[in-house]
Structure 1
């Protein structure tokens, strides 16, 4: 199975390298047919080989017309890449506010985005989450916000 996984990975990376915009959109079932495997094998390759830590974002739509969109995260911005790779598993509201302020000062966020991020990750917004899990959830939300900033740059 490792050989098939590597073959699928190589194929997708080759297609990505040929794209002009660092994005690839392909049908999951088409890919499964090409490699004579189950769609779950394609999902496995995506979830293990095309992660944000490996420099990729995945968008996916399931169903009969399901597709996969692989987006290469441009490593131009070492600061954002560093944040994604090194963000603490837990983030307090105060730490999140400081991070958002820094992103705003560096012009990654405009004022509206800064306020939206700040209030969306506040203790008040996350009040229905148990206090022992709140900082974990906040960190996950922030990581995804940073990934979205990377994807648009």
Structure 2
């Protein structure tokens, strides 16, 4: 396990459970105890590694009977999730978040490898190097929203 940090280990553990089920419900304290970390470490992993951009829906309920529910969404079966994904992009989109979106679309077989690579080349920070990071992220968001809207249209119309 050399070279891997605890966040990677927790992420891989949760994803291994998700590989058998599309949805899991966990108790933050139980996972924290399992890995001998503070519960906020579990929050950090979930907040940064199980995002909408990566194709996950996360719900939580606080209190004694509280839980965290993580669901891996298959985009081919859930075009409404594309609306959520589009809304999460906003006005600007970083290179890393854009990569996560494309990777999720590829993993869910919404895009072929070739299509994913073409979009990645289009939104790459070297391609959008205007010397203005704000403008780069704004253009990337517009391109990504356009791609997602087209995919949503195609999926809803069975293409």
Q: TM-score w.r.t. structure 1 length?
A: 0.50
CA distance in 2, matches of 1:79, 1:34: 36
**Is the partner of 1:64 in helix, strand or coil?**
coil
Counterpart residue number, 1:12: 14
1:48-67 equivalences in 2 (<5 Å): 48-67=48-67
1:2-151 equivalences in 2 (<5 Å): 3-19=5-21, 22-76=22-76, 80-87=80-87, 89=90
Whether contact under 8 Å (1:29, 1:66) holds in the other structure is no
Question: How far off is 1:86 after superposition?
Answer: 3.7
**Is the partner of 1:65 in helix, strand or coil?**
coil
Question: How far off is 1:78 after superposition?
Answer: 7.9
Whether contact under 8 Å (1:53, 1:84) holds in the other structure is no
**Is the partner of 2:5 in helix, strand or coil?**
helix
Q: 1:17 to 1:76 in 2, by over 3 A?
A: same
Whether contact under 8 Å (1:59, 1:68) holds in the other structure is yes
**Is the partner of 1:24 in helix, strand or coil?**
strand
Q: 1:83 to 1:31 in 2, by over 3 A?
A: same
CA distance in 2, matches of 1:78, 1:65: 29
Q: 1:84 to 1:15 in 2, by over 3 A?
A: same
Question: How far off is 1:27 after superposition?
Answer: 1.1
Q: 1:17 to 1:80 in 2, by over 3 A?
A: same
Q: TM-score w.r.t. structure 2 length?
A: 0.48
Max Rg structure: 1
Cα RMSD for the two superposed structures:
2.4
Question: How far off is 1:80 after superposition?
Answer: 4.3
